[in-house]
Amino acid sequence: MTSEAVPISDDARQALEQELAVLREERDAIAATVREHATDVGDYADRADELRRATESERLDARIDDLTARLRGAETAGPPDPDRAGVGSSVTVEFPDGSRETVDIVEVVVPSDAPLVTSDSPLGKALLGRRVGDRVAYSAPDGDTTARIVALGARTS
C-alpha cells in the first residue's frame, strides 16, 4: 500500500462508514455467541456451528480491516476534471446499436435514481480518463463491446 492518500467522494465515505458500522455489529453479535458457547462441549453439529461462526467472524474481520484502511488512507475528492471521465463524472455513451445512456461513475454504489457504474467495473474502467469522442472497449455480460463517449458532465445526484 502506498502512503499517498486516495481520493474518495463524500457519498462513498458515508456508504463505507455505514457498511463498517453494520459489519462491526454483525461481528460483535457473532463474538457474543462464540463466548456463550465456549465452555459447551457439545457434539459434532455444535462444533461445526462453532467453526462456521469462527469462519464468518474471520471474514467480517478481514472486511472491517479493509474498510478501516481505505477510510484511513482517504482524502476527500474534489470535483472531477470536466474534460476527462472520472469518479464523479456523468458520462453519456453511444453503443454500437445507436442507443445512448447516461451513467454516473461512482466509487461505491449508493442509492440513486441515476444509472451508476462503479470505477472498477469493466465499463467504468474503460471510461476513466477518456474524453468526449473517445471510443472505449470493454467486456459486457454478452461479450466484448464498444461505446463512444458523446458527453461529459459532473454527477448531479
Cβ burial of 108 (10 Å; 0-12, 13-18, 19+) is buried
Residue with cell 457439545: 42
Phi, psi of 7 (to 5 degrees): -65, 145
> Distance between CA 3 and CA 1 in Å, rounded?
7
Q: Report the mean per-residue pLDDT for the chain.
A: 81
For 50-85, what is each residue's pLDDT tens digit?
A: 788 888 888 999 999 988 888 887 776 666 778 899
pLDDT in tens, 20-55: 999 999 998 888 776 555 555 566 667 777 788 888
Q: What is the pLDDT of residues 85-116, one digit of tens each?
A: 988 888 999 999 999 999 988 877 666 666 78
DSSP symbol at 5: P
